[in-house]
Structure 1
Amino acid sequence: MPCTPSTVTAAYLRKRGAHYLAIVKKNHPGLYAQVRKLPWADIPLDHHTRDRAHHRDEIRRLKVAAFLHLDYPGARQAIQVVRRRRELSTGKLTIERVYLITSLGVFDATPAQLAAWIRGHWGIENLLHHVRDRTFREDDSKVRTGTLPRTMASLRNLAISVFRQNDETNIAAALRRTSRDYRRPLSALGLT
């Protein structure tokens, strides 16, 4: 699953024989510039998909470039994903370009596998982080010091996990229903 590990984490994973697939964000300016400046126009398209769902038409194009000189522990390949989304109701077009790196070599994973793992990450993003952002309004939290932000994130994750384990699909509705009776949270946790 793609994430943004630190160089320490990446080195640790490689030392243990594990691989990573990491999103390269602008908060790593040197690495981001290095990956963004690769000759993507000259690299052939390796994989593409087209889907129509959620009131939009989406095309995802993936290019993979093998490089040994990326400035990141164990990085063997760079990946460019271009997502073109057209809202069917408005016709609005958005284009998003995302860069990733992986420690997997060219013979370790196909472009189709890489694309599936990247999509899997967005599934997790939608199931967990979107709920934390929208339902729990995590970004509006005033808790910012010490270990409290991590503790609150863990509690939110616990609540989401309990609801999902109980086959709840609408977390906001489950929260409202549970908050109406003090016994429901205990029941959801199997404590009554």
Structure 2
Amino acid sequence: MPAALEQLIRTHAPVPVADAVRLRVFLCCVPDPRDRRGRRYPLVALLPAAAAGVLAGARSLVAIGEWIADAPRWALHALGFPPDPLTGSVPTPHPATVRRFLARLDGDAVDHAVGAFLHSRTDAPHPGPAQRPALRAIAVDGRTLRGSRHGDRPAAALLAAMEHSGSVLAPRQVADKSNEIPAFAPLLNPLELTGTVVTADALHPRHEHGAYLRSRSAHHLAIGKKNHPGLFETVRTLPWRDIARDHYDRTRAHHRMEIRRLKTAAFARLDYPGARQALQVVRWRREMDTGKLTIERVCLITSLPPGEATGEQLAAWIRATGTSKTCCTTCATGPSARTTPRSAPSTCPA
């Protein structure tokens, strides 16, 4: 199944035919790969019908073709298939025709169309008269496309901008990890970034990326890494012991217990474009079956001024970004250790 249509799998409470009809509005920029003489079925009927099949539960090209072939007449009418002028019946394409059509589509164009549709489908909260508009969080992350490795050809790598809720907004194919850095700005250029917070993994906290986001009226949430030694040391050596905690979270799942603590400190100036706050996240993780305790510290910076986002919001954005993979310090105890997560600060002080 095309990666562009896989985005629809995460749609909350889908209404297959109604959502597919709404999707037709966003398909005006998708080029038709077929010759003019071979266009028996219109693109604005075929592609929404495939999307309706995915929303209805189809998870393969064969299943999508079968769903279209078995769809009721009223659904085919709504999706845009023209009726036969003589018999009044609605002809449908053979499943093999659907497979060939989907395989030839421009994947980037379909990605943008589906991403715009999913973003429009999300019900944004309406602020009251005394409330400021809610910040929109966008994550930039690289992924390897599942099933794209064939023989000697390596798997395709994608750099994608996506809502923290899971909707992909703009994907871009890159050759490898090293090419993610120059692809950062071109990936975000088509998007409206005003009033957003852009998070990224440890590969992207670069000065040019921070300056680009501030020039687009977007906020950043970046990790302080050792490739910026001055910035890293400034944030790491703050008197975190004396700073009040902004957020505390305790979870227990998957045979482990985790405690996350977030602290923030305001700055007049940091050596990073637009940086206003430094953050520290400390995570204690205890494996329930072995008793092993792991402590991780993450140093971050953000252009958000104090009070712009709550500690709970910041913690959710950081956790969704997966920044705990890059930490300042890691301390672990073996199975025989008796220290509990609550007493961990005395063993490994923040």
CA deviations over 1:116-156 (Å, ceiling 9, x no partner): 00111129x8xxxxxxxxxxxxxxxxxxxxxxxxxxxxxxx
CA deviations over 1:83-137 (Å, ceiling 9, x no partner): 00000000000100001000011121111100000111129x8xxxxxxxxxxxx
Pairs within 5 Å for 1:15-54: 15-54=215-254
Specify the alignment match of 2:285 in structure 1. 85
* 8 Å Cα contact 1:78-1:102 kept in structure 2: yes
* AA partner of residue 271 (structure 2): D
Specify the alignment match of 2:81 in structure 1. none
Specify the alignment match of 2:313 in structure 1. 113
Aligned-residue RMSD, C-alpha = 1.5
Runs (4+) of structure 1 exceeding 3 A deviation are none
Partner of 1:20: helix, strand, or coil? strand
**Alpha-carbon distance between aligned partners in 2 of 1:81 and 1:74, rounded to the nearest angstrom:** 21
Gaps of 5+ in 2: 1-198, 326-350
Specify the alignment match of 1:9 in structure 2. 209
* 8 Å Cα contact 2:205-2:224 kept in structure 1: no
Partner of 2:321: helix, strand, or coil? helix
The two structures have a TM-score, normalised by structure 1, of 0.62
CA deviations over 1:30-50 (Å, ceiling 9, x no partner): 110011111211101110100
* AA partner of residue 320 (structure 2): G
Pairs within 5 Å for 1:86-165: 86-122=286-322
Please state how far the C-alpha of 1:2 moved relative to its aligned partner: 3.9
**Alpha-carbon distance between aligned partners in 1 of 2:251 and 2:200, rounded to the nearest angstrom:** 21
**Alpha-carbon distance between aligned partners in 1 of 2:254 and 2:299, rounded to the nearest angstrom:** 24
Specify the alignment match of 1:171 in structure 2. none
Higher helix share: 1
Aligned residues: 124
**Alpha-carbon distance between aligned partners in 1 of 2:302 and 2:250, rounded to the nearest angstrom:** 24
Say which of 218, 242, 258 aligns to 1:58. Answer: 258
The two structures have a TM-score, normalised by structure 2, of 0.34
Identity %: 65
Please state how far the C-alpha of 1:5 moved relative to its aligned partner: 2.3
Gaps of 5+ in 1: 126-192
**Alpha-carbon distance between aligned partners in 2 of 1:5 and 1:89, rounded to the nearest angstrom:** 36
* AA partner of residue 55 (structure 1): H
**Alpha-carbon distance between aligned partners in 1 of 2:200 and 2:283, rounded to the nearest angstrom:** 16
CA deviations over 1:54-98 (Å, ceiling 9, x no partner): 211000000011112211110000000000000000000010000
**Alpha-carbon distance between aligned partners in 2 of 1:22 and 1:44, rounded to the nearest angstrom:** 21
* 8 Å Cα contact 1:2-1:117 kept in structure 2: no
**Alpha-carbon distance between aligned partners in 2 of 1:73 and 1:91, rounded to the nearest angstrom:** 42
